[in-house]
Amino acid sequence: MFAYAVPADSYPEKALRHPAPRQKTLKSAIGCKGVGLHSGSKVAIRLLPAPADTGIVFRRTDIAGGGAVVPALWSNVGDTRLNTCIENQAGVSVGTVEHLMAALAGMEIDNAFVDINGPEVPVMDGSAFPFVFLIECAGVVEQDAPRRAIKVLKRVTVADGGRSASLFPGDGFSLTVEIDFAAAVIARQQCSLRFESGIFRSEISRARTFGFEHEVAQLRAAGLARGGSLDNAVVVSGDRVLNEDGLRYDDEFVRHKMLDAVGDLYLAGAPIIGRFHGIRCGHEMNNRLLAELFADSSAWTYVNADAPVAGAVASGWETRLVSNA
């Protein structure tokens, strides 16, 4: 019972105006195999149904005993170098959880066990889409428990130089992400969307992680990107994309940063009702933002996740701005 321990006084009566959506889990178990992006290790995962109020819980099957359980929560985040790694008090960790967490958020899966036989979630093709496909194949079922969301009550911001991440009050869930890279093929890009029903799968889930050819040797010397390749990442060399098939979206780079933010924010333990704005932010800043939010009890509250603001699946652009200048 990890994600939904809710104080009775934090559950406003006004949230009961509409019947609450039900929590959801997988209809059946399903799995896949792949390679860890940073470790380069071969690993297998299996997604399994979990009881209501469980949340998302990783279980290291290669480690014996109860210390192998790692709840997917912001407070368990450790390493954030080019990935989000969660770790329990026994020091057992699971790395690169953000793409799978984004898929679980996008498919509105509240409760699931993720059995994994290694230290890192497989990168698959570098996006969240393979995990979305797995969830669709397994099926989704509603559970006999109301779905709750975290409603942002006031602005919360973390900043570091020209980078920042903020949450604002708002109806439903929306994101704006801005990036700025020296490479002309990326340059400045901004994307904004409002989550409603449908677009996470078609417009965000297929955006792949990316990196720069000139950084590969340095990253591998630091124990990172050992499993990276053109099969699971967009690789930029100078002002060129090296992947033969090019980009999946004209603005795939900023869309992937948006995908990462969706996954990182789902470590809150429930969908968020509010507006996220990230400027040149990454995993470390996304996690700091959640820590800042939960450190201030007046900045948030639990409410019923009413259907129009369920916060996990998106289907209509609020605005979409892309600049390569």
Residues involved in catalysis: 283
Residue 136, both tokens: 């669709």
Residue in the block written with tokens 């990935």? 83
Report strand pairing: 163-168 vs 316-319. Answer: unpaired
CB count, 10 Å around CB of 160? 12
CB burial class (10 A; 0-12, 13-18, 19+) of residue 161?
exposed
Distance from CA of residue 124 to its chain's centroid?
Answer: 15
Residue in the block written with tokens 């019923």? 304
Buried b (16+ CB within 10 A) or exposed e, 64-85: eeeebbbbbbbebbebbebbbb
The dihedral region occupied by 307, where left means phi > 0, alpha psi between -120 and 50, and beta the remainder, is: alpha
Residue 109, CB-side half-sphere exposure with 13 Å CA sphere:
31
DSSP strands (E only) in the chain: 22-26, 30-35, 42-49, 56-60, 69-71, 86-87, 93-94, 112-116, 140-146, 148-152, 156-160, 163-168, 173-180, 188-195, 210-212, 234-237, 240-241, 272-279, 300-304, 316-319
Q: Per this entry, what is the length of the chain? A: 325
Give the phi and the psi of residue 286 in degrees, each rounded to 5. -60, -40
Dist CA 251 CA 243 (whole Å): 15
